[in-house]
Structure 1
């Protein structure tokens, strides 16, 4: 199926292009999701303490957070989207290959640092590319991209768990690199020639000049109310999501008495509901506007969290888990599309990089605060707290200007 050409004469390609990028996104989530399953085995073999295991993950998150904005600047300056996406996948997969031969803690830290950087090069590259190629269906294609991440998160642990029945973790790590290499080759072949945002802008200019212009545009981005408010709203949304993923399994296991199988099934239901919600919300946001979809989804998320806290340990709680996943994960792609609506086309990667950097801050703060509340008031208090965080996120959406002031200031 071929989408109609956008205004301005830039020819759009078939939706196969969007599906190739979506599949690549699934693999960027595949590797971290697999690593969570392998890390306890790695720690046991290498004799790592719990603190050292936690440090490995913390370093990965910090590297990712710090690399988002520079990654976005590089993406906007270079413009070779297909090449950068293939590089990102390779950058994620290759350290896992090296990890298969690791015999010391410092080697794990170096590998996870590289993984954190490579993984966060993907989003500032892929999301603006999809928005540029499908300007009239921006919300839908960004939602498709998000669905790929949900698939990677859900399927990878199942596949890795099955492989570990037959192979050691070192063998699994090495074999796990193969799909990433294959996907990198496919992206490089299918999308490697794309330079659609910069092919006119880069002519006759060197990299230093391109990067200087991008840095100048970044200064304007940082003064814009639309980007800042949406980023802060996203930070509170990430605070909600990160805390939920950390403490919902504990509540289901410790308070509800569910077995690990049923806890896993509930978490799968949360992701599955989000998988279904993403394209619906993305499509509707293209038709009726980003603000209305985001505010209604956040309102329903807050109400659902409140009902979960009230339901406590009753069976109705599990029903609300699926409802929560539907509305919570519906917001993500719509918010990203709104940021790109406001950003100038030549600064899309930087805008997405800034958005993800601010999100990382919220994602890091939420679990700590939730843990303190749980220690003092019990696990149920976490859901009241999360209902409050999503209300705050909605307030920032309400304050966000409806127009596209970012374009006016940066172009």
Structure 2
């Protein structure tokens, strides 16, 4: 990579890591917030759904803004907003202020992915390599952000931990002021389109996406997103309810073994993402997508029964769950590309993020409602059913397009 590519890679890796650190650390705080704010899982699920949902809802507008105004300033604004929103969580005296803080965080987080991916696609000469480094940055945030959070929660009050976690955002903004790069180095300048032309183009291209294949793919992604958010939001709390993961005291403070099982599941997910990406080079992607969704459905149904067995079989199910959950992501991203015309891939991914993070955010509210009025077994059975429904949709793709056309 040349100097420009290295600067873009470093900048986007850090911002991507920040995004996933915050996204996947929030479930660790939910266990605490249930007691601190004395609210039901349903209420807290709705609160979190609003913030997570904004990530998807804002994806398409963010993509349009990136095309009109450039990516660098948007990424900086996103990191600043995420830092402010996350910091505000530490100041929340009640669940209403907590929701306001999560809304600020979610709105700012929605800017990142379209802006970051656009920056790489327009500014990096070696796009594939920079995309790979960008993924590594996200994986580091996915795995080690929650692990750091869990370790800090053993030693410090949750509000102080949140403040500590905002420090990296300050570092990313400081780094952005020190580096220089050309965000249009890999494309020729043709003057671009006006905002009105951009809007008309977006509407016209959206109509092109209303094909049977892409719509079915979108619905399958939406169900996967609901499963993903519904599972992860309350997963530490669900594991913590199991007798073999009871709270213990260390250094005079309570420690939650469930938090480390949760972070272990996320770490296994790194391997899943890698394998899922490699599989798409060798297997028809619909088959891989079908296999992952089917596995997620089965694992949801056996999760509670296996928890009553010995520790080793249960941890094996947890590992398989983390692997399958994250292996699905690179697979559906390839499916999206295959069912959308090449010149509207950017818009197609905007819609994919809308399904994954926007509509999928309802999974947190769904999970909270079921946990409040039913139990963990009902939640996992519901999520398992959603995954199998998604598998059925992918199967219909295979029937409609037997040759992969």
TM-score, normalised to structure 1, is: 0.75
Structure 1 pair 218–402 and aligned structure 2 pair: CA distance change class (3 A): farther
- Structure 2 residue 225 is matched with structure 1 residue 234: no
Deviation per residue, 1:70-114 (Å, 9 max, x gap): 223333444x23332222112211344566667787665444322
Q: In structure 2, what is the Cα distance between the partners aligned to 1:292 and 1:87?
A: 39
Aligned to 2:230, which of 225, 233, 243? 243
Aligned to 1:200, which of 168, 185, 189? 189
Structure 1 pair 251–99 and aligned structure 2 pair: CA distance change class (3 A): closer
- Structure 2 residue 239 is matched with structure 1 residue 252: yes
Q: Is the 8 A contact 1:271 1:325 kept in 2?
A: yes
Q: Is the 8 A contact 1:131 1:142 kept in 2?
A: no
Residue 278 of structure 1 and its aligned partner are, at CA, apart by: 0.9
Q: Is the 8 A contact 1:240 1:390 kept in 2?
A: yes
Q: Is the 8 A contact 2:268 2:319 kept in 1?
A: yes
Q: Within 5 A, what are the aligned runs for 1:263-278?
A: 263-278=258-273
Which runs of 5 or more structure 1 residues have no equivalent in the other structure? 3-10, 406-411
Give 3-state SS (helix, strand or coil) of 1:50's partner. Answer: coil
RMSD (CA atoms): 4.2
Aligned length: 387
Aligned to 2:146, which of 148, 154, 171? 154
Residue 271 of structure 1 and its aligned partner are, at CA, apart by: 1.1
Structure 1 pair 182–227 and aligned structure 2 pair: CA distance change class (3 A): farther
Q: In structure 1, what is the Cα distance between the partners aligned to 2:84 and 2:334?
A: 31
The aligned residue for residue 251 of structure 2 is none
Q: In structure 2, what is the Cα distance between the partners aligned to 1:113 and 1:98?
A: 11
Residue 335 of structure 1 and its aligned partner are, at CA, apart by: 1.4
TM-score, normalised to structure 2, is: 0.76
Which runs of 5 or more structure 2 residues have no equivalent in the other structure? 248-255
- Structure 2 residue 389 is matched with structure 1 residue 392: yes
Q: In structure 2, what is the Cα distance between the partners aligned to 1:135 and 1:342?
A: 22
The aligned residue for residue 313 of structure 1 is 308
Aligned to 1:285, which of 280, 285, 304? 280
Residue 354 of structure 1 and its aligned partner are, at CA, apart by: 1.9
Deviation per residue, 1:13-38 (Å, 9 max, x gap): 76785464233211012234555566
Q: In structure 2, what is the Cα distance between the partners aligned to 1:196 and 1:15?
A: 13
Give 3-state SS (helix, strand or coil) of 1:209's partner. Answer: helix
Structure 1 pair 12–191 and aligned structure 2 pair: CA distance change class (3 A): closer
- Structure 2 residue 80 is matched with structure 1 residue 90: yes
Q: In structure 2, what is the Cα distance between the partners aligned to 1:99 and 1:42?
A: 10
